[in-house]
Structure 1
Amino acid sequence: MSTQPALGPALDPAHTALLVLDCQPAILAALPEEGDREALLGRLAGAVADVRAEGGTIAHVRVGFTEADWDAVPAANRSFALLARHRAMHHEDPAAAVHERLAPRDGDIVVRKTRHGAMSTTDLDRQLRERGITTLVVSGLSTSGAVLSTVIDAADRDYRLHVLSDGVADPDPGVHDVLLHRVLPSRAHVVDTAGLRALLRASTS
């Protein structure tokens, strides 16, 4: 018996991008357990490989600041003012690079942002639309930060959305669970890495 209805509609890889958000050493370090970090990276590496194998797009999004970026953060910004004050996450710092296990390859999209959402301070939306991308699979860190902000923004931009349930994480497990089960499903299909693989292959079966 097919499980396709529970997973959602099949994904057309030619029009699908996997967004890998903030998978940087400095941000991964906020997850309390090293084992959790390694397991997450393993699942994400598998998802990246699956999307690449089916001809989909990988888009890496990382947070990183120049001196000018830090100076432009107002004191009213509760998320980034302290970071700017301490000159943290310089864009050339190795701790702000995409984790080596998920290193970008030729043909991937790579953008640098200075706020939570993947699109508000980048040209990601333009690059996706130029490639004909209409469906986004959102993964990475953190569920209450970049993932939530990106899903809300992308929904308003009329993308078809999936959230990778075992490919997102947050330092606060309780917040993660509420968002994943109560908030994000109102804007996106929620699917795990095995389900993503099935949906990608369903379009050609």
Structure 2
Amino acid sequence: MQNSHGKTALLVMDVQNGIVSRFAENQEVLHPFEKAVAAARQHGMSVIFVRVGFSEGYPEVSPRNKGFSAIAGRGGMTVHDSSTQIHESMQPQPNEPIVTKYRVSAFAGSTLEVILRSRQIDTLVLSGIATSGVVLSTLREAADKDFAITVLSDACLDADAEVHRVLTEKVFPRQADVLTVDAWIDTLN
């Protein structure tokens, strides 16, 4: 399951103001994320924050991309906008990268893979919003890139509870270990 902590990274994906505000009516749902970040830091594991954001004028957005072209049409979600900043409940420390992506997967159009390879990381622990978005897309791509993967089921949120359940109970276990944050922390000790 887990290897040496130095070769493992916790990815905290899309836990940014504009997304948290849509998915987390109750801030208590962020406690598992906070607990995972604290445990990773305590065990000397890399913590990498991933956010989605666009350049002014949205040059990265194709009109054929339904979701992102809607964002470009209404404005916001640029890299300097408050909606793309990491949520205040888990601010990155100076040595923790903030990776900006331009698509759903954390790898798409970002420096994530370069950072992981330069740090010789071969195991990823995934958390994020939404389970059916960034977590699913990143898990699939990470598996294709031969990373060992753990998904923290209670540090993933989705607007559809049934979709979250099906993904974490039936789909993700085919390519990853799926654990609660507490069960994952037990594996670190």
C-alpha spacing 1:11/1:195, structure 2 compared with 1 (3 Å): farther
Q: RMSD in angstroms over aligned alpha carbons?
A: 1.3
Bigger radius of gyration among the two: 1
Is the CA contact 1:22–1:146 (under 8 Å) kept in the aligned structure 2? yes
Aligned counterpart in structure 2 of residue 176 of structure 1, from 135, 159, 164 = 164
Name the counterpart of 2:67: 79
Is the CA contact 1:143–1:169 (under 8 Å) kept in the aligned structure 2? yes
Residues 27-38 of structure 1 aligned to structure 2 (within 5 Å): 27-31=19-23, 34-35=25-26, 38=27
**Unmatched runs of 5 consecutive residues or more in structure 1:** 1-8
Cα deviation, residue 191, structure 1: 0.7
TM-score normalized with structure 1 length: 0.88
Aligned counterpart in structure 2 of residue 20 of structure 1, from 12, 26, 32 = 12
Name the counterpart of 2:40: 51
Runs of 4+ aligned residues of structure 1 deviating over 4 Å after TM superposition are: none
Residues 98-177 of structure 1 aligned to structure 2 (within 5 Å): 98-177=86-165
Cα deviation, residue 74, structure 1: 1.6
Tell me the SS of whatever aligns to 1:164.
Answer: strand
- Answer 1 or 2: higher relative contact order, Cα 8 Å, separation at least 6: 1
Q: Does 1:94 align with 2:82?
A: yes
Aligned residues: 189
**Unmatched runs of 5 consecutive residues or more in structure 2:** none
Shifted more, 130-139 versus 101-110: the winner is 101-110
TM-score normalized with structure 2 length: 0.95
Inter-partner Cα distance in structure 2 for 1:116 and 1:20: 14
Identical-pair percentage:
37
Cα deviation, residue 77, structure 1: 0.9
